[in-house]
Structure 1
Amino acid sequence: MPKPYTNLRYKLFSLQSISSLDMLSRLSSSSNHRLLKTLIGDINNNNGSCSWYSSKRQGKETLSLYSKISPLGDPATSLTSELDGWLRQGNKLRVAELHRIIRDFRRRKRFSHALQVSEWMSKKDICAFSPVEHAVQLDLIGRVRGFLSAETYFNNLMDQDKTEKTYGALLNCYVRQRQTEKSLSHLQKMTEMGLVSSALTYNDIMCLYTNIGQYEKVPDVLTEMKRNKVSPDNFSYRICINSYGVRSDIEGMEHILKEMESQSQIVMDWNTYAVVANFYMKGGLTDKAIHALKKSEKRLDNCDGIGYNHLISLFARLDSKDEVLRLWDLKKSACKRCVNRDYITMLESLVRLGDLMAAEKELKEWEASGNCYDIRVPNTVINGYCVKGLFEKAEAMLNDLMERGRTPPPNIWGKVAEGYLNKGEMGKARECMKAALSLHVRNKGWKPNPEVISGILSWLGDTGSIDDVEAFVSSLRMIMPMNRQMYHALLKANIKIGKEVEGLLSGMKADKITEDEETKEILGLRENGTK
């Protein structure tokens, strides 16, 4: 069951933009256990309609369905044809495997693919859906198509399937899309029907108020929960603690924390104390923050990599290098193996602390770890070089990566180019920007900094050869239309060698770029015969 606070960066503790509880949290562990136990029983007894589904049973399975469709990560890829093809080839389908695929896709936020599998199961009548399966599909519909489509699905359910699970799933859809009136109206209906028996529903409403910035209403929900004899869980208290913290009400936060610690049904967790520490840090209460972090550390499981990452990041914010190194050593000892995310967290912390030598050492350790390659790991160190103004080292590392067949993203080359530009090293700025442009993939998000491009174009127009200007402009045109700065650089380069520029002026006119004062000054160079 995913936890709402198991993100990897300390800054997410503030929960400024909490998404509502994932629907998986509504499918309680006991419900999931019963579902899987039923499926296993069906398979063992071979007497249920929900055990195997196959067009024919022959041949030996050499590839699981999961391993076949899991790599198809493009959201535009249709899985329906893959699923149909799997059956046509005579392969067996375990319903339990289909449920595992859906859970895995949800965990990896591949909601469209999860919905395709769920709807395919329903269409093929592979398994009669229980309220739990309906709740999952309803939640997926809400994520992929919006709450209106989720409403339609809910309204078309049979009465016996409209349980706390499916009502809760629809509430979750409303909350996630910040539909305040619908959320509260739906909650009222659930209350009247006696379908509010757990903390999950109240937690949803607290998430709603958090997401719309009405933090002051969160404690009222906690009070109502207790009034209705529903016991708050850890998340209930944690989101309430957050509501006081974001309002800088340290006293109120401490009051709720003390109440939480006094509840017999609550097992205090590292996450809560980390949230508290974060707000102490924001309030400048360093001693209290350290005390809370120590409490958090005591509640870490022996191999909780995510927990260690959070604490390492928080101690780095406190400029506590000794604690960062101590926790990193503990983590490596407890967890035996560090994944890429762990190295990124540690490298970010060392960069924040300004210890680039230690970061370089950890980078070498990562390279020798055997972990799969992840460009974000070296990028963390490269960003550290840029922050310190060490652009030559950043460029050298990027060139080394390229020589080893690795492809850094264009934005990091663009950052180095900007650094060189600000230092007045225009030739190096141009070369780094050329590298960035060569790596650009259309519609992939990165766009070059207009000020950097303008600066390089202006410099090229003044000092570069016509070949240099044309080559750079040609690279730019692969990712952006012609603009005034590009035309000006070309005009200056052509005028310097006495070439006619009528064609360029016609191009400007065709691109609806009017001549401004700078254009006239450039053309004046031609009229004065100045090179």
Structure 2
Amino acid sequence: MWAIRRASVPVRNNGCRILVARTCCAKFEAASDPLENGVQHSKSHKVTRSFNLTNSDFRGGICSAASFIWGRSLSSQAKANSSGKDEDELEDGFSDLEVPPEVDKVEELADKLDDESVSDRDDSDIDGDEAAEDALRLSEAETDSGEKGLARKSQSSPFLKIILDASRPSLTSSLDQWVGEGNPVGRAEISLALLNLRKRRLFGKALQFMEWLYANNHLEFEERDYASHIDLIAKVYGIYKAEKYIDKIPPSFQTEIIYRTLLANCVAAVNVKKAEETQSKMRDLGFSVTTFACNQLLLLYKRVDRKKIADVLKLMEKEDVKPSRFTYNLLIDTKGRMKDISGMEEVIKAMEAEGVEPDLFTRAMIARHYIFAGLNEKAEAALKEIEGNDISKNRVACRPLLPLYAALGKADDVGRVWKVCKSNPRLEECLAAIEAWGELGNVENAEEVFESMMKTWKKLSSKYYNTLLKVYARHKLLAKGKELAKRMSNSGCRIGPVTLDALVKLYVESGEVEKADSILQKASEKNQIKPLYHTYITVLDKYAQRGDIHNAEKIFHRMRLAGYVGRMGQYLSLLRAYINAKTPAYGFRERMKADNLFPNKLALAQLQAVDAFRKTEISELLD
């Protein structure tokens, strides 16, 4: 553990602060002020150690991290069972809690990118496409067979069809009619319905369904059911409503998984104060410190305050909590995004020393960070290791290799790897190929792969259209993007947050930011879609670039209404609007303080820039 802690905060000779690591107490609230002052004293009986902390900006890679981690996000660990994620490709913003995962199973989850966390891309903190955020990869066979099995069960379930076909207002009456006709409502059917609703991000309908089950005694609630209910309440109504619901749960069911579910949602919402309060509450209730809880805190601090990562590692060492594969991956990803390659390699060594060999996911992530650090030789060596001696016999490596070779600009290697898949492609390989060709600027090849998919699978979900739509957005092909969106609509695909994000980006990149703004507003109001954080930021950044304070403030306000509060990225974008407009931002520090945010290095520089626009008595006279 010491090796990991040392790697997590590499030694620098200059521009560093010295932190004497302390034992993390149960009350994490006390940790912030001393850390801000730069020094903490250890009360542990163990030897006090010093770490150098830097304020390096946390800049993610230029290419979408989703391309490299197969759309998987390390932050999804804030979720809990395997289900899809985020609207189709991000299928379910939080993995299904229908079967609460054990700590040692967390790494087997196959959640996809949580764009809300993934796109929370500040210039100062976070999670780049935020793309590797909890989710370790299921094997190819497990993923394919699991999805096919789920699809078969879904198609054969009349109960699920009734739920999906019913509108929200008519759902209760449709369910009452089903029961009134003498049809049974068994746990297997209930679980299948909830899983499908989560995969489709129909959280409101899933919550309505669960409340119907509870009100009509169709399900004897157990621990996992209460946990699932809390998760849905948090998604639909927010953390505070979920917290109040816990008080209504019978005491015998107020177990660790209940609070773990709440903690995970606090982390997903980037609510630092509530996450720390929940962790403290778990300690007060006598729950032991678990790998899962520590990973949640690591994930949270990775996004908002990397200085506190050392505290969590210290706590893990003190409580003898063994790091999981996810812990190592999270630290590797954090150091890689900081472009601290030596620190990343130290974590890898510590991981291997503990007998945890990097898997395909980890090796692809390492290669990605080499690429964006400009270490092409190391990146190529890593890719050759992933590929093996014969790529045709190592089919599972094709998916991550396609976008990674594209990021290196190696069109020949992309073509060579795609040739292995082309005769009998898998859907995820097709997605990776479209992304790779799009990255290389070869739109025709990307279109060819998409049309081939349409012929092979006939009906595709919005996930697959979105991939090509993003390629069109990248290359400002507005006409083609609009035509694809029409095809998508005609095929019956549902317009969800990811599709909305791609459409907004398409118009913004094509210079039609007002149209993008209009689409964003209509979708959120009429279609009741909660846009992704990154969708708002795309529009906000463009207004900021123009120095359009009025519209930038409007988007900022709408983000708050959508629940995106207290993130440094949105404040930095808004500040840029004032800077480009050469207008003072009065009361900006107070606004940040109200959200419990304190200016980091970049924010301070921007605040000083807007302060320079303040009028003095002399300047007013001279003007």
Post-superposition offset of 1:202: 0.8
Provide the residue aligned with 2:417 in structure 1.
327
**339, 357, 365: which one pairs with 2:452?**
365
Deviations for 1:88-119, whole angstroms, at most 9, x for unmatched residues? Answer: 11112212210221123223322222222222
Which residue does the alignment assign to 2:334? 243
Match of 1:507 in 2: none
Q: Structure 2 unaligned runs (5+)?
A: 1-63, 83-96, 106-155, 494-498, 540-623
Instruction: Find 2:438's aligned residue among 342, 348, 351.
Output: 351
Which of 199, 207, 219 does residue 107 from structure 1 map onto?
199
Distance 2:264 2:468 in 1: 40
Contact 1:386 1:415 in 2 (8 A): yes
For 2:351 and 2:296, locate their aligned partners in 1 and report how far apart those are by CA, in whole Å.
Answer: 19
Alpha-carbon deviation of 1:165? Answer: 0.8
Does the CA-based 8 Å contact 2:203-2:236 persist in structure 1? yes
Specify the alignment match of 1:452 in structure 2. Answer: none
Relative to structure 1, the CA distance from residue 385 to residue 160 in structure 2 (aligned partners, 3 Å threshold; closer, same or farther) is closer
Please name the residue that 1:272 is paired with.
362
In structure 2, how many angstroms separate the alpha carbons of the residues matched to 1:383 and 1:31? 36
What are the within-5 Å matches in structure 2 for residues 433-472 of structure 1?
443=526
RMSD of Structure 2 on Structure 1 (CA) = 4.7
1:284 to 374, 378, 396: 374
Give a deviation string over 1:268-295, Cα, whole Å, max 9, x none: 3222222222221111011222233344
Structure 1 counterpart of 2:66: 9
Out of 18, 21, 26, the residue aligned to residue 78 of structure 2 is 21
Query: What corresponds to 2:257 in structure 1?
Result: 165
Question: 1:205/1:130 Cα in 2 relative to 1: closer, same or farther (>3 Å)?
Answer: same
Query: How far apart, CA to CA, are the structure 2 residues paired with 1:157 and 1:407?
Result: 40
Mark the structure with the bigger radius of gyration: 1
Distance across 2 between alignment mates of 1:326 and 1:412:
31
Taking the aligned partners of 2:242 and 2:392, their CA distance within structure 1 comes to 38
Cα distance in 1 between the residues matched to 2:182 and 2:459: 35
Amino acid of the structure 2 residue aligned with 1:323: D
Q: Say yes or no: does 1:121 pair with 2:217.
A: no
Distance 1:298 1:179 in 2: 43
1:85-104 paired onto structure 2 within 5 Å? 85-104=177-196
What is the letter of the counterpart of residue 281 of structure 1? I
SS at match of 1:92: coil
Q: Take 2:274 and 2:433, find their aligned partners in 1: how far apart are those partners?
A: 43
Decide whether aligned partners of structure 1 residues 366 and 10 sit closer, same or farther in structure 2, where only a CA change above 3 A counts. closer
1:222 is aligned, of 298, 301, 313, to: 313
In 1, Cα distance between equivalents of 2:329 and 2:285 = 28
Determine the C-alpha separation between the residues in 1 that align with 2:201 and 2:465: 26
Distance 1:221 1:10, change over 3 A: farther
Question: Quick one: structure 1 residues 205 and 117, their matched pair in 2 at CA, closer, same or farther if it must change by over 3 Å?
Answer: same
Name the stretch that deviates more: 103-112 or 84-93. 103-112
2:442 counterpart letter in structure 1 = D
- What is aligned with 1:190? 282
Q: Report the CA distance between 1:360 and its aligned residue.
A: 4.8
Task: Indicate the residue corresponding to 1:499 in structure 2.
Answer: none
Structure number with the bigger relative contact order (C-alpha 8 A, sep ≥ 6) is 2
* Correspondence 1:316 to 2:403: no
8 Å contact kept, 1:23–1:136: no
CA change 1:317–1:169 in 2 (3 A) is: same
Q: C-alpha separation between the residues in 2 aligned to 1:195 and 1:417?
A: 48
Cα displacement string for residues 431-461 of structure 1 (whole angstroms, at most 9, x for unaligned residues): xx9xxx9xx9995799xx9xxxxxxxxxxxx
Cα distance in 1 for partners of 2:508, 2:239 equals 45
1:277–1:158 Cα change, 3 Å: same
Quote the Cα distance in structure 1 between the aligned partners of 2:221 and 2:466: 46
Q: Do the aligned residues in 1 keep the contact of 2:103 with 2:290 (CA within 8 Å)? A: no
Which residue in 2 is equivalent to 1:234?
325
Helix, strand or coil for the counterpart of 2:457? coil
Q: TM-score, normalised by structure 2?
A: 0.52
Paired residue total: 387
C-alpha separation in 2, matches of 1:168 and 1:377:
33
- Relative distance call for 1:132 and 1:302 in structure 2 (3 A) is farther
2:383 is equivalent to residue 293 of structure 1: yes
Q: Following the alignment from structure 1 to structure 2, what is the Cα–Cα distance between the partners of residues 98 and 133?
A: 11
**CA–CA distance in 2 between the matches of 1:106 and 1:390?**
33
Equivalent AA in structure 1 for residue 436 of structure 2: S
Residues 316 and 350 of structure 1 are in contact (CA less than 8 Å); yes or no, is this contact kept in structure 2?
yes
Kindly tell me: are residues 244 and 377 of structure 1, through their superposed partners in 2, closer, same or farther at Cα, counting changes over 3 Å?
A: closer
Distance 1:199 1:413 in 2: 39
Provide closer, same or farther for how the CA distance between residues 267 and 153 of structure 1 changes in structure 2, counting only shifts above 3 A.
Answer: farther
Q: Give per-residue Cα distances to partners, 1:312-339, cap 9 Å, x unaligned.
A: 1122111112322233234457xx4533
1:65 Cα offset (Å): 0.5
Deviation of 1:304 after TM superposition, in Å, equals 8.0
Between 1:219-228 and 1:113-122, the stretch displaced more is: 219-228
Q: Does the Cα contact within 8 Å between 2:406 and 2:440 map onto a contact in 1?
A: yes
Alpha-carbon deviation of 1:348? 2.9
Paired residue type of 2:361: N
Go from structure 1 to structure 2 and tell me whether the alpha carbon gap of 1:99 and 1:380 turns closer, same or farther (over 3 Å shift): closer
CA distance in 1, matches of 2:457, 2:373: 41
Residues 227-254 of structure 1: CA distance to partner in whole angstroms, max 9, x if unpaired? 3122211111111112222222111111
Query: Identity rate of aligned residues, in percent?
Result: 25
Residue equivalent to 2:60? none
Counterpart in 2 of 1:179? Answer: 271
* CA distance in structure 2 between the aligned counterparts of 1:193 and 1:82, rounded to whole angstroms: 42
**Does the CA contact (< 8 Å) of 2:207 and 2:233 recur in 1?**
yes
User: Would the alpha carbon gap of residues 316 and 232 (structure 1) be closer, same or farther in structure 2, given more than 3 Å must change?
Assistant: same
For 2:328, the aligned partner's letter is Y
Distance 2:161 2:378 in 1: 49
TM-score by length of 1: 0.60
Paired residue secondary structure (1:93): coil
What is the identity, as a one-letter code, of the residue corresponding to 1:65?
Answer: F
How far 1:31 sits from its partner (Å)?
Answer: 11
